[in-house]
Chain A
Amino acid sequence: MDSESLHYSLDLAAGNGLTLSSEQRAALQTSLVILKRNYKFSRVLFWGKIMGIKCDYFIAQGVEDDEMKNKKSLYSLNCMDWHLLPPATESMIADVALAAQGRFTGDPSHEYEHTETRIKGEGDDATEEEVTVKVNEASRLATAVSNIDKDASVVPRGAFTKSPSGKVQTNRSFGGLDPIEAAKLRNYLHFREPVNLKKKSILEMSHLNPAIDFLDPLSEDIPKVTISFLKEQWESPALTIKSCNETFALNRTPLLL
Chain B
Amino acid sequence: MEITEEALNSERLQAAARFKAFMMKNSTKTNLNLYDHLVRLLTKVMDERPENAVDVIEDMSRELKGSILQEKQDTLRDSPSSSAALLLAEQQKALFTRAAGDEGDHEEDLVESPLPNVAELAFFFEQAGVGLGREEMHRVFLALKQLVDSQCLLRCRFWGKIFGTHSNYLVAEGEFREGEGEEEEGTEQTHEDEEREEEPEEDKDETELVEAADPPPKSTYKPPPPVPKEENHTGVNKYTYFVCQEPGMPWVRLPMVTPAQITVARQIRRFFTGRLDAPVVSYPPFPGNETNYLRAQIARISAGTHVSPLGFYQFGEDEGEDDGLRDSYEENPNFEGINVNEMAESLNLWVHHVQHILTQGRCVWVNVTKKSADDVDEDAEDEEREEESDEPEPEVGPPLLTPLSEDSKINDTLPWSTMISSNLIPQFSIAVLRSNLWPGAYAYASGRKFGNIYIGWGMKYIGEAYTPTILPPPQNEYPSGPEITEALDPSVEEEQALKAALEEQTAALEETEDLEEDEEEDD
Contact = CB atoms under 8 A, between A and B. Distances in A.
A11 B135 contact: yes
Nearest to B429: A23
B405 to A, nearest CB: 16
B463 to A, nearest CB: 7
Contacts of A229: 84
A232 B129 contact: no
A178 B19 CA distance: 49
B8 interface: no
A242 B83 CA distance: 22
B455 A228 contact: no
A15 interface: yes
A15 B136 contact: yes
Given A22-B127, A232-B88, A17 B440 contact: yes
A230 interface: yes
Contacts of A11: 133-135
A202 interface: no
B328 to A, nearest CB: 31
A102 B421 CA distance: 25
A70 interface: no
B152 to A, nearest CB: 31
B413 interface: yes
Contact of A250 (B128, B129, B134, B457): B457
A19 B130 contact: yes
A231 interface: yes
A226 B423 CA distance: 40
B423 A78 contact: yes
A226 B134 contact: no
A126 interface: no
Contacts of A244: 165, 271
Interface stretch (A40-48, A145-153, A192-200, A233-241): A233-241
A158 B190 CA distance: 60
A131 B271 CA distance: 39
- Which of A14, A21, A23, A234 has the most chain B CB within a 10 Å cutoff? A21
B167 interface: yes
B258 interface: no
A24 interface: yes
A244 B127 CA distance: 30
A179 B83 contact: yes
Nearest to A10: B133
B131 A19 contact: yes
A71 to B, nearest CB: 25
A175 B14 CA distance: 52
Contacts of B434: 51
A17 B84 CA distance: 23
Contacts of A179: 83
Interface string B256-298: 0000000000000001001000000000000000000000000
Nearest to B424: A23
Contacts of A94: none
Nearest to A251: B163
Contacts of B136: 14-15, 231
A53 interface: yes
Interface string B307-320: 00000000000000
A51 B455 CA distance: 15
A102 B412 contact: yes
Contacts of B457: 250
Interface string B78-95: 000001110011001000
B133 A19 contact: yes
A172 interface: no
Contact of B421 (A21, A230, A232, A237): A21
A179 B84 CA distance: 10
B149 interface: no
Contact of B85 (A51, A53, A101, A237): A237
B306 interface: no
Interface string A41-65: 0000000010101111000000000
A233 B88 contact: yes
Nearest to B92: A233
Interface in B349-365: none
Contact of B127 (A15, A21, A102): A21
Interface string A134-159: 00000000000000000000000000
Interface string B388-430: 0000000000000000000000011110010101111100000
A116 B406 CA distance: 34
B129 A235 contact: no
Contact of A14 (B85, B131, B166): B131
A124 to B, nearest CB: 38
Contact of A230 (B168, B271, B440): B168
B456 interface: yes
Nearest to B434: A51
- Which of the listed residues A12, A15, A56, A237 has the most CB atoms from chain B within 10 Å of its own CB? A15
A222 interface: no
A54 B133 contact: no
Interface in A1-35: 11-12, 14-24
A103 interface: yes
Given A21-B422, A179-B83, A228 B167 contact: yes
A57 to B, nearest CB: 13
B135 A235 contact: no
A14 B133 contact: yes
A56 B425 CA distance: 18
Given A19-B130, A21-B128, A230-B168, 10 more contacts: A17-B455, A19-B126, A20-B129, A23-B425, A56-B129, A102-B463, A226-B165, A234-B85, A244-B165, A250-B457
Interface of B: 83-85, 88-89, 92, 126-136, 161, 163, 165-168, 271, 274, 411-414, 417, 419, 421-425, 434, 436, 440, 455-457, 463-464
23 contacts: A11-B133, A11-B134, A14-B136, A15-B132, A16-B163, A16-B455, A17-B161, A17-B440, A19-B126, A19-B131, A20-B129, A21-B421, A21-B422, A23-B421, A49-B129, A53-B417, A54-B417, A103-B413, A228-B166, A230-B168, A232-B89, A233-B92, A242-B165
Q: Which 10 A-B pairs have the closest CB atoms?
A: A17-B455, A14-B133, A232-B85, A19-B131, A232-B88, A21-B127, A11-B133, A21-B129, A226-B165, A53-B417
